[in-house]
Amino acid sequence: MNILTILLLFTTLLLTRASELKTAVRIIRVQSLMLAMACTAVGMETGEVQIYVAAVLTIIIKAGFLPYVLLNIVNTLKHEREDHPILNISYSSLVACIAIVLSYGLIDQALPGAGSRDALATAVAMTLIGLLLIITRRQAVMQIMGMITMENGIYLVGLSVAKGFPLIIELGVFFDVLVAVMVLSILTSRLKLSGISTDTSILKKLKG
Amino acid sequence: MNILLNVIQALGVVLLAPLVAGMIKTAKARMQNRRGPKLFQVYFDLIKLLHKDSVVSPTVSWIFNLAPYIYFAGAVAAAALVPVSASRSSGVGDIFTLIYLLALGRFFLVLASLDAGSAFGGMGGAREMFIAVLVEPALLLSMMTVAFKAQSTNLGLMASMVENSPLSLAYVFAAVAFFIVLLAETGRIPVDNPDTHLELTMIHEGMTLEYSARKLALIFWASAVKQLVMILLFVLLFLPGNVFGSEMFSGIVLKVLLVAMVIAIAETSTNKLRLFKVPDFLAVSCLLSLLALVAQ
Amino acid sequence: MIAGYLYDLMLLLFSMGVVSVFFTSSNAKLTNYVAHSLALLGSTLAILCAIFVFMQGKVDIVLPVMLPFGPIGSSIDFLSAFFLLIIGVVGAATSIYAYGYSQEYYHRRLPLMAGLYNAFLLSMVLVFTVSHVVAFIIAWEVMSTVSFFLVNHEYEKKVNTRAAYIYIVMTHLGTIFITIAFLLLAVGANSMDFSQLKGSLVSENLRNVIFVCTLIGFGTKAGMVPLHIWLPRAHPAAPSHVSALMSGVMLKTAIYGMCRFFLDFLGIGPVWWGTLVLVLGIITAAIGVLYAFIEHDIKRLLAYSSVENIGIILLGIGAGMVFMSKQQPVLAGLAFSAALYHVFNHALFKSLSFMGAGAVLQATHTKDVDQLGGLIKKMPYTAVFFLVGSVAIAALPPLNGFISEWLTFQVLLFLPQVLVGITGKVFSALLIALLGLTGALAAACFATAFGITFLAKPRSEQANEAVEAPPTMLVGMGMLAGLCIVLGLWPIGMLSILSMTLQNIAGIDIQGLVGHDWYALAPATGHSDGGISMVAIILLLLSGCAVAMLLYSIFGKEKVAVGETWTCGIVPNSHMEYTATGFSKSIRTVFKSIVHSYNETVVNANGNPYHGQKLFYHVRVRYLFVSALYIPINKTIIKVAHFMKKIQAGSVQVYVGYIMVVTVVILIWSTGW
């Protein structure tokens, strides 16, 4: 479990260094696979069926369906890449490291001596780094990557603390991500049809 | 019923009002070194008017024809409410009723002045309403000095209380305040000149410019009745104590004569105020009433 | 109980009225008849329901509506029944009037207006009768929203839309305060039912807060100065029968709310409550009538006059509260009777006046008094009814306005007995003087309104071509005019109803209200033997008329010759007549510190300089409260909003950034790092 946690952290750090959209999607696929494996480990620990079901769902949706759709979108956006994010790549990685240190410190302060300290800290770090990605990336696809990272972080909290959320919450979370991706794909295809770039900084013109 | 006494009193006031008006006219004339009209001249004028035929403008409506009756009826009803001793027992006299009956008459007369569609009528009506608006608070304040003391607005009770109280500074203030209101309400100099022939300086006469013959007689008579009503109110409510014996009819007559003289003196000794100085004049009355209230 | 059935049936009829317009919307005439007949039936049932409640006692009804706050009930006690009577009478008259008035609206969204009219009546009936906090607020909101749509009905004119906007903002401001007051009480009483709110345990300070919130909240709806700015804009903008309902009944819902709070929930309070209401009342009355007098739009004039009359009602309520605080129950009963009598009177004569103004508007298509004139010959019956309304508003005997004004004066006269000392005497004297000023200004205002609109020659072509109103409109007006006269001649009837209304209220004793003579109004207050007798007044007036007629005919029949009005020898035309603007000039000059009128004179000198130039003279008024209070508040709010706009960068990422910063800060703070 701890190995998987470290690997998750690693993939998240890697995500902050991605500037090609395809690379980012692949990293997300790997991250989700890791999460599914962690889920299966927890399931083997507790032996509850619904955790296995949740793991299978994670594989199907987050590691299978979502990256597939996203890769399709990315393929239609042949000339898009994250050229100049608001915070450049090196500094993003630096801030991500600070976030990891911060989350470890917070968890140590709030819950000293907790058993699943690594997993909790990783989860908080993933959430913060996800938020960082949303803030500092201009491309819509990258922002979705950030959101999925946040979801994965929250999912990890559930796994480590409560040994899995009830299925209904898992379903809710999945639907949430699903809808977000559907919206993104529609938006992207419309933007592509109108010939406008999917760079979201053009949305600033809508200011009231 | 006791109300019969009130009706008889009203008729008495109606009969005597032109005499008082005549007295004031004669006194003014004598003071201005003229011979002046005869004492009963007003009666002759009214009878002359009642003989004549009238000229009515085609612009007017039924309000024009109705207004003199309502004005006269209001004045007569007010005259019935004045608390001369015998009629106090019926208990119908109330100061607000009296004031508002007079206001009823004035309302319809202003309407009639607008009815003929002339600028003089409108101006006279507008100014009359202007003076009425300013006089009302002054009148009520001076009345309240007596009413607060008597704890009632019933005229009979107020008059009885005034009779039995001694002369004091408060009464002097209140009397002067009400005298100012009296001059304003009856349209005497310094508020309005009752003898003027210039339409632009008329207030009350301007309202009635279109009236002729019998309706004009009714209006003149009603004005005289209103004047006598105000003088009687002054005598009965603001001159305290049994100076000449207010219970007796002769006492009242003497006091009325005295007040008529004072009005004549006041008219002769000042000149007419500019219209927009009238609020200041009435403000003096309000202040005196407030002083009277405080001094009680 | 019968009253319960009548109540349910009435609600059903109004709801049917709302729903029926969906079915009849294709045929305008059918919509008119069906919707307004249902409204008329509903209003008649309201009158009957009120009468039955007075005869049989309080009625409690549970409404078949399930909300998660407990069962919603209506409780019609005597106070509610009194107000139900008002809405029944005015609603019936307005519905009859609406038959004729809606003919002008056949192509202007009549189904919408008729449906909203029924909804308006329904919501007001609910406001008067429900006894649950949440239901009251819901009904109040429905009433405000429906009246907003009705005010905005003729949205083609920008001035109407602006009026509706100001109205909805002000009314919601009031609703906030009302909700606060209700919730504070409900929390203290641990229940949302009106019958429980009386025993609410709240601290002294909280009671004062509730009082102030009530005053502001209901005062906004009633049109109390300085919260009145919506009234003179909204009432003229609505269709005339709706204006009549708004002015006649909707303002009274606020007075009903105040009475519920002051008599029922809060009970006896400190003296400063009553004194504050007195001061606000007299300011409202004086300012209202002053602005009414200088208006020349007839409906705005009537709206400002409503503000004045609300001031007079508040005077009565304030005096009643002072008397209650000083343990003078008999005088308190007199004061509240004066206030409620004026409530009924105002509902009658203000609705009558608005209906008359609506008839004039329909005939001449203009509201500007300076363009009218001579209508008494073209619309004789409307003129008579409007005259009755004007004489009643001017508080002249023998109509009903005089009775309630007299009662209010009496109440103010007894104030120095409880507010002892020089201050009390001077305060009461000032109140009486200002009330007298108000009365005189009201008389002047309505002499202008009636005189310039109806008398003399028509001042424009539109006035020249006016025709009499359709008979249904005349019937509606006639009903209310007749009631004005009846209530003036027979005040004891109304006082009996009032003494039933005000029974069983702590701190009020109405035993001495109805004296032993059927014809006299002589409240036995134990302090004096004052009284008036309408019969005596009528007798005296009639005898005066008799004397006048005797004098008139004493010398035989008069010969009347026709001669043109004297205008120094030239033929008079309508341009020589006085206008409303001119009529009010002297008052504008005297009160110029409050009114701030300034004029623009435009001289068209192109004509022959010897033969006369064209001159345009336009008077504008600077409205004191709008310019001194509301415009600075508006400017401040807009400045603050501009400043706050800076945090809106337009970029989604900045917003997410705000969230992230806050999250991190909270995380660090909560763990105490």
Do residue B73 and residue C590 have CB atoms under 8 angstroms apart?
A: no
C-alpha to C-alpha distance for C464 and C116, rounded to whole angstroms: 34
Do residue C578 and residue B121 have CB atoms under 8 angstroms apart?
A: yes
Q: What is the mean pLDDT of residues B148-160?
A: 83
- Using a CB-CB cut-off of 8 Å, the residues of chain C touching A134 are 653, 656
Q: How many residues does chain B have?
A: 296
SS3 call for C66: strand
Pick from B43, B143, B63: nearest CA to B110:
B63
Comparing C536 with C34, the larger pLDDT belongs to: C34
- DSSP letter at C190 equals T
Q: Which residue spans within C216-361 are E strands per DSSP?
A: none
- Using a CB-CB cut-off of 8 Å, the residues of chain A touching C668 are 102, 106
Do residue B59 and residue C434 have CB atoms under 8 angstroms apart?
A: no
C-alpha to C-alpha distance for B214 and A4, rounded to whole angstroms: 118
State which residue of chain C sits closest to B68, comparing Cα positions.
Answer: C548
Choose the mutation target among C642, C646, C653 for the interface with A, i.e. most A CBs under 10 Å: C653
C-alpha to C-alpha distance for A118 and A111, rounded to whole angstroms: 12
Q: Which residues of C touch A (CB under 8 A)?
A: 648-653, 656-657, 659-660, 663-664, 667-668, 670-673
Do residue C443 and residue B103 have CB atoms under 8 angstroms apart?
A: yes
Q: Residue C135 to residues C70, C138, C140, C177, C182: CA-CA distances in angstroms? A: 11, 5, 8, 16, 12
Interface check for A40 against chain C (CB to CB < 8 A): the answer is no
Q: How many CB atoms lie within 10 A of CB C588?
A: 19
C455: left (phi over 0), alpha (psi -120 to 50) or beta: beta
Residue pLDDT, tens place only, C657-672:
888 899 889 988 888 7
pLDDT at residue C526 is higher than 70: no
- DSSP letter at C193 equals B
* b/e burial code for range B20-34 (CB count within 10 A of at least 16 → b): bbbbbbbbbeeeeee
- pLDDT score, position B167: 80
Q: What is the mean pLDDT of residues B27-37?
A: 89
- In degrees and rounded to multiples of 5, residue C618 shows phi and psi of -125, 130
C-alpha to C-alpha distance for C211 and C219, rounded to whole angstroms: 11
- Using a CB-CB cut-off of 8 Å, the residues of chain A touching C651 are 201, 203-204
- Using a CB-CB cut-off of 8 Å, the residues of chain C touching B107 are 391, 394, 396, 443, 447
How is chain C split into domains, by residue range?
274-551, 624-671
- In degrees and rounded to multiples of 5, residue C531 shows phi and psi of 175, 165
Percent of residues, chain C, with pLDDT higher than 90: 44
How is chain B split into domains, by residue range?
3-295
Interface check for A102 against chain C (CB to CB < 8 A): the answer is yes
C-alpha to C-alpha distance for C113 and C377, rounded to whole angstroms: 32
Query: Which of C650, C664, C672 lies closest to A109 in CB terms?
Result: C672
Inter-chain contacts counted by CB atoms under 8 A, chains B and C: 286
C-alpha to C-alpha distance for B18 and B43, rounded to whole angstroms: 6
* Lookup result for tokens 């009194």: C82
Q: Which residue spans within C46-186 are E strands per DSSP?
A: 59-67, 70-76
SS3 call for C532: strand
Tell me the residue type at A22: K
The average confidence (pLDDT) of chain C is 87
Q: What is the mean pLDDT of residues B95-109?
A: 93
Model confidence, pTM:
0.83
Choose the mutation target among C642, C645, C652 for the interface with A, i.e. most A CBs under 10 Å: C652
Beta carbons of C501 and C82 less than 8 angstroms apart: yes
Beta carbons of C393 and C442 less than 8 angstroms apart: yes
Do residue C656 and residue A207 have CB atoms under 8 angstroms apart?
A: no
Inter-chain contacts counted by CB atoms under 8 A, chains A and C: 45
**Which stretch of A184-198, B273-287, C603-617 has the lowest confidence by average pLDDT?**
C603-617
C-alpha to C-alpha distance for C196 and B180, rounded to whole angstroms: 57
Whether the complex's predicted ipTM is more than 0.85 is answered with yes
Burial class (CB in 10 A: 0-12, 13-18, 19+), C421: exposed
Beta carbons of C310 and C222 less than 8 angstroms apart: yes
Distance from CA of C112 to the nearest CA of B (A): 41
Contacts of C305 (CB under 8 A, 6+ apart): C288, C289, C292, C350, C353, C393, C442, C445, C446
Interface check for A98 against chain C (CB to CB < 8 A): the answer is no
**Which stretch of C418-422, C503-507, C581-585 has the lowest confidence by average pLDDT?**
C503-507
C604 - beta bridge partners?
A: C614
Do residue B69 and residue C456 have CB atoms under 8 angstroms apart?
A: no
Do residue C651 and residue A208 have CB atoms under 8 angstroms apart?
A: no
Query: Which of C648, C653, C672 lies closest to A208 in CB terms?
Result: C648
Q: What band does C70 get if pLDDT is binned at 50, 70 and 90?
A: low
Q: What is the mean pLDDT of residues B206-229?
A: 91
CA angle C350, C352, C353 (to 5 degrees): 65
| Chains B+A touching (3+ CB pairs under 8 Å) | no
Distance from CA of A111 to the nearest CA of C (A): 9
Distance from CA of C165 to the nearest CA of A (A): 22
Q: What is the mean pLDDT of residues C52-81?
A: 80
- pLDDT score, position C519: 52
Pick from B199, B59, B253, B6: nearest CA to C451:
B59
- Using a CB-CB cut-off of 8 Å, the residues of chain A touching C664 are 102, 128
- pLDDT score, position C527: 53
How is chain A split into domains, by residue range?
2-206
